[in-house]
Each structure stands twice: as structure tokens, then as C-alpha cells.
Amino acid sequence: MNAFFQSLFKPVDGSSLAVFRMGFGMLLLVNSLGNLFTCQTCRYIEPDVLFKYQHFEWVTPWPTESLWALHWGVMALCALAIMVGYRYVLALFIFTCGFTYYFLLDQSLYLNHYYMVILFCIIMLFVPANSKWSLDARHNPTIASPTVPYWAVLVLVLQLEIILIIAGIVKLNPDWLNLEPLRMWMHWRRNEFPPFFTLITNDVGIALGAYGAIALHLLGAPLLFFRRTRLWVFLTYAVFHTINHMVFSIGIFPWFTLFASLLFFSPDWPLQLRDKLGWKSSATVSHNRETDNSSVSLNANGVIADQPMIEQPMIEQSSDITSKQIMIVGVMAIWFTGQILIPFRNWIYPGNVAWTEDGHQFSWRMKLRSKSGNVRFNIQTDDGKSWTVYPNGHLNPKQVRKMSCNPKMVWQFGQFLEKEWEQKGYTDVSVTVNSYCSLNGRKSQRFFKPDLDLTRVSRDELAVNWLVPLTEPLRNPLWKF
């Protein structure tokens, strides 16, 4: 036990953590500036309904575009402060609160990489990423340090590793193994790509991409732990994420994942790179080069080993385990237990998660389903009157597209219609749904049970109880499961 704690809390070079902070801040800055010049009124003010996450229905948007401009202006300044390490903790706290607020406003805008940004922001609040190469360290000697405790790097590495491995596990499903929806997307867009990319639009190239993604996540991610394979896996990831960026519009996700992968290298890799490029200064601190300097290698006893140590000054470590160390390990254990269990909660729900959406979000199920559908709402009152309502008059196009095949969003819109009709003076309002949905290129089939009254069911119920079971098969499957 003592050896484990000593390995976890031994000092390692803080260079890689400092570089990650700079890159992280830069990506947050790019994202904030992009939102600053995007119409927020179109997203949050013009629609009559914003789809809320359960228990966060109280989150409401800024009422004017000028306030949104102020919001993203402050976020951009905070991202810049994070990048240069100025008032780092305060800037990161404000950014985390502001970004989480933005994330919670409308469930129809959910993106996995937004969720990932929030997770890393929370972690970065507790790691001393401003102890080196920051304005805070320059102006406050009590913060400045050439080293950081090893757990500060490890916690970021493990968070990324969990995301990558789970993203591979969830791809082991019949649709993805039959190349859907990747094949459908590539066939739709084959005329958009330059001649070089025609390879990835035929079935052979699509199969390489689909099965290669599984291998890269399930095999490549663990191989980042080992020195002999780390660089090759990283270069493969670089190609993979560059293609992802060119083919799919997924924002900062490819670059963030690629940049975070650098944390798997030796904690002093920026100094090693500087030395190799001939930028070494006379003030450079001597580093131990005798070991592999592997950031996360395990020894024969399963204990983390071979982290680079700073030779000067040498800090003698106490063999006693402190209450603070126990608390840090305990928090890490709770955090990562949740990070592993939450994505797999859909395993306890009946039905196809891609159809029911029960447990789909926060599960790293990236690019696994393409759904298209249409929905209209039938309203009846106790006096025998009835109306048919199409959502287009109340929502923006993206909301309509996302809601059409998302049961809980359909439910929320049904609650909105019930309240709207009650405000008009009607009582005992019932709302039923006439909807059809297509999953991953399947033939469209009825989605909601036609006799289900949305005003008589609770959001806490599993959506599978509201839906017609998925019966349509994939078109032209490669395999039968």
C-alpha cells in the first residue's frame, strides 16, 4: 500500500501538464469565439420550447443577444486566462460554470465533446496545472514549482482512457458491425469528397474505418501506456482524428482528444523536445534520462513505475500516508467508479438503446445511430374538440430533427402543448402522437404507441414502455446476429 501511495504522490516534471493547460485553454478559446459569433437568439430565444435535462428544468437562457455576447466574451477571456495561467483557478471555475450552464439549456444540442469538456474542466480545477509556465507561477513564488504530484497527470490520463475504451466497447453492436450508420453517411456524401477520399466511400474502405475504429479504441488506447507502441498509436490517432475532422463536423473533439493523448508520454516530453530542437537554455534543469520515463507504465507488482523525477532539487518523501492523500485517492476512486458505471447503465434497460434512447446520453455512444422521422401531435379536450399540431411552428429546424425520434423530448413537447391548451381555458387535455422513425437506414416504422396519452405518463418511466418495439431489419446487412 505504501508503495502505491508513494508512486501516486511522487513528484514528476510539470511540463506536460503545463502544455496541456495551454492547449486546453486554446481550444476553449476557439470554441468560445465561435459561439460569440453564432446567433444565440436563434438557438435559445426564438423557439417556444427548450428541451431540459431532468432536474435542470430551472435553467433558463439569457433573454437578449447582447447578454449572450457578454456571456461568450467573458468565457473567451477566461479561456485565454486558462491558457496563459493567469488567475487560473478563478478563470477555470467561471468557465466551468458558464459552459455547464450553456450545456444544460437545451438537450437537443447535446454533444459528447461538450460533456467531455465539462469533465476535464472539473478535473483541471483540482490539479496544479498553473505551477509551471504560467503567469501565476511567475508572480507568486508559492505556486511556482518544476514538479507536480504524479496523480495530477494520471487522473487526466485515466479519464481519457476510460472515454476511449468505452467508445470502442459500445461499437460492438450489430449495426456498427454491419457498417451502419457509417456506410449510409459515406454513400450520401461520396460526391462531396476529393478523389483521394473515394476509398472511404466504398464498402471496403468503410469496413476498414468501422472495424479500425474499434481496434483503435480497444487496442490502441491501452497500447498508449507502453513506450514501444505509444508513438505509433499516437501517430495513428493523428491520422484518424484528422480524417474525422475532414469528414464529420464534430468541433474541437478530434483535436482535444489528440492533444490529451500527449499526456501519455513522459511528463517531461516538452523539455526533451526542446533539447532535441536545440532550444535548450543554460537554465534548464537536469533530468533523469536513465529510465524509460514512461508516464503510466506498471511494474511486475502492478504498481505505477518509472515516472521521471527531478534530480535537483531532490525532495525527500515521507513514507507515512497522510489524510490528504487518502482523501485524494478516495475521491479519485469514487469519480472513476461513476465514470465507468454511468455509460453502461443502458445495459439494465430493456430494448435497443439506439431506438429507445434510455441511457444513450453520457455514454460515449458516438456516431452510432442516425435517426430520421416525422411527428405530429393530436390534441383532444373534454368537450370533444380536437386539433393536429406540427412542431415546426414552435421549434427551430434542428430541434424538430432531434426531437422527432427522441421519446423524452417528444414527451416534453407534449407537456408544453398540454399547458398551452390549459392556458386557453380547456380542461382534461389529452395529447397523443402520430410518429414514424427510421434507425440507421431501416425502413421507417411507427415509433410511439398511437393510443399513448403523453399527459398521463411520467418522465421517470422508461421510454421503452411508450414505444412500438423496433422490428424493421437493417437493409443489406453483412452479418446476421
Report pLDDT digits (tens) over 318-340: 567 889 999 999 999 999 999 99
Taking residues 86-98, what's their average pLDDT? 98
254 compared with 107, residue with greater pLDDT? 107
Average pLDDT, the chain: 88
pLDDT exceeds cutoff 50 at 309: no
Taking residues 79-102, what's their average pLDDT? 97
In a 3-state reduction of DSSP, which class is residue 297? Answer: strand
CA dist 398 and 68 (Å) reads 20
pLDDT of residue 434: 95
**High-pLDDT (> 90) share of the chain, %:** 74
pLDDT exceeds cutoff 50 at 171: yes
**Neighbour count for residue 318 (Cβ, 10 Å):** 8
pLDDT exceeds cutoff 80 at 193: no
In a 3-state reduction of DSSP, which class is residue 186? Answer: helix
CA dist 421 and 367 (Å) reads 38
pLDDT of residue 319: 66
CA dist 172 and 174 (Å) reads 7
CA dist 358 and 463 (Å) reads 6
pLDDT of residue 282: 45
What is the per-residue DSSP string for 378-444?
A: EEE-TTS-EEEE-GGGTS-HHHHHHHTT-HHHHHHHHHHHHHHHHHTT--S-EEEEEEEEEETTPPP
Report pLDDT digits (tens) over 108-123: 999 999 999 999 999 9
479 compared with 71, residue with greater pLDDT? 71
**Residue 156's pLDDT band (cuts 50, 70, 90):** very high
Is the previous residue joined to 141 through a cis bond, with omega within 30 degrees of 0? no
pLDDT exceeds cutoff 90 at 169: yes
**Residue 295's pLDDT band (cuts 50, 70, 90):** very low
Taking residues 79-101, what's their average pLDDT? 97
The half-sphere exposure of 100 on its side-chain side, counting CA atoms within 13 A, is 12
Taking residues 199-212, what's their average pLDDT? 85
Taking residues 444-463, what's their average pLDDT? 95
Taking residues 90-116, what's their average pLDDT? 96
For every residue of 449-460, which 3-state class applies, written as one string? CCCCCHHHCCCC
**Residue 196's pLDDT band (cuts 50, 70, 90):** low
**High-pLDDT (> 70) share of the chain, %:** 90
Report pLDDT digits (tens) over 50-71: 999 999 999 999 999 999 999 9
pLDDT exceeds cutoff 90 at 299: no
Report pLDDT digits (tens) over 207-258: 998 999 999 999 999 999 999 999 999 999 998 888 887 777 777 888 899 8
Taking residues 293-299, what's their average pLDDT? 41
pTM, rounded to two decimals: 0.89
In a 3-state reduction of DSSP, which class is residue 147? Answer: strand
Residues 6+ apart with CB under 8 A from 356: 349, 407, 462, 463, 464, 467
In the numeric block, which cell numbers belong to residue 406? 427522441
pLDDT exceeds cutoff 90 at 454: yes
Report pLDDT digits (tens) over 119-141: 999 999 999 999 999 999 999 99
Phi first, then psi, for residue 13 (nearest 5°) are -60, 140
pLDDT of residue 127: 96
CA dist 442 and 351 (Å) reads 17
